[in-house]
């Protein structure tokens, strides 16, 4: 009997249907941002570097290039601020955590596309 799991099940709310994706896939996340009393939706498009955790504590790290600078953002998968997740490309990688992408730039940072 795992008490943490029982507590999570008791407080679980209905979760939105999310597409299946993994490391190497390019996704667009529509994220709600509150600025004062206004609320807007910002789209963050990048490559999934890793997915870690389990159940309601699942997190994903998404990396995008903003000009010459690499920007990484960690999103909780079950966050109420995530409006939608859309998979743009399925990438073909051999690992679950592709940290080596941080050191690559230009054509070397390309990921082959996985045919569905």
pLDDT in tens, 64-116: 999 889 999 999 998 889 999 999 999 999 999 999 999 988 899 899 999 87
Q: What is the rounded CA–CA span in Å between residue 104 and residue 100?
A: 7
Whether 44 shows a pLDDT value over 70: the answer reads yes
What integer pLDDT is reported at residue 16 of this predicted model?
73
What integer pLDDT is reported at residue 13 of this predicted model?
64
User: Residue 66 forms beta bridges with which residues?
Assistant: 69
Confidence of residue 24 (pLDDT cuts 50, 70, 90): very high
Mean pLDDT of 22-51: 94
Q: Architecture of domain 26-104 in CATH? A: Roll (2.30)
Backbone angles phi, psi at 73, to 5 degrees: -140, 140
Q: For CA atoms 64, 78, 60, 35, give the dihedral sign.
A: positive
In 3D space, the residue among 23, 30, 19, 2 whose CA is nearest the CA of residue 96 turns out to be: 23
What integer pLDDT is reported at residue 14 of this predicted model?
63
pTM (2 d.p.): 0.82
Mean pLDDT of 4-16: 73
* Inter-residue contact 90 to 25 (CB < 8 Å): yes
Q: What is the rounded CA–CA span in Å between residue 86 and residue 41?
A: 14
* Inter-residue contact 61 to 35 (CB < 8 Å): no
């Amino acid at each position: 009997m795992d008490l943490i799991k029982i507590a999570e099940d008791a407080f679980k709310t209905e979760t939105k249907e999310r597409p299946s994706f993994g490391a190497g896939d390019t996704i667009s996340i529509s994220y709600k941002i509150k600025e004062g009393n206004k609320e807007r939706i910002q789209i963050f498009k990048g490559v999934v570097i890793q997915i870690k955790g389990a159940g309601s504590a699942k997190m994903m790290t998404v990396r995008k290039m903003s000009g010459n600078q690499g920007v990484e953002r960690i999103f909780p998968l079950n966050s109420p601020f995530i409006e939608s997740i859309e998979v743009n490309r399925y990438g073909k990688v051999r690992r679950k955590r592709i940290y080596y992408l941080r050191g690559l730039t230009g054509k070397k940072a390309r990921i082959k596309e996985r045919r569905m």
